[in-house]
Amino acid sequence: MSREVTCPDCGGSGKVSCSDCGGEGGEHKTYGGETKWYSCSYCEGTGRKTCSRCNGWGKITVFD
């Protein structure tokens, strides 16, 4: 028997904190004395990425 439950990794939102930028969405970098903000290319500056466990759906299937 199977049933759908809320994904424990994302809490049902379908998104998790981006591990590449630590959820910040990017980082400040200094080159030649000038500091600029560079967006994270993995999460596109949002600080969040699609949950890999539920593929962004927010639920997973469990088998009893």
Residue 9 has pLDDT above 90, yes or no: yes
User: DSSP letters of 1-64?
Assistant: -EEEEE-TTTTTSSEEE-TTTTTSSEEEEEETTEEEEEE-TTTTTSSEEE-TTTTTSSEEEEE-
Average pLDDT over residues 11-39: 93
The total number of structural domains in the chain stands at: 1
Instruction: Select the more confidently predicted residue: 28 or 54.
Output: 54
* 64 band by pLDDT with thresholds 50, 70 and 90: confident
The whole domain housing 40 covers 2-63
* 60 band by pLDDT with thresholds 50, 70 and 90: very high
pLDDT of residue 55: 96
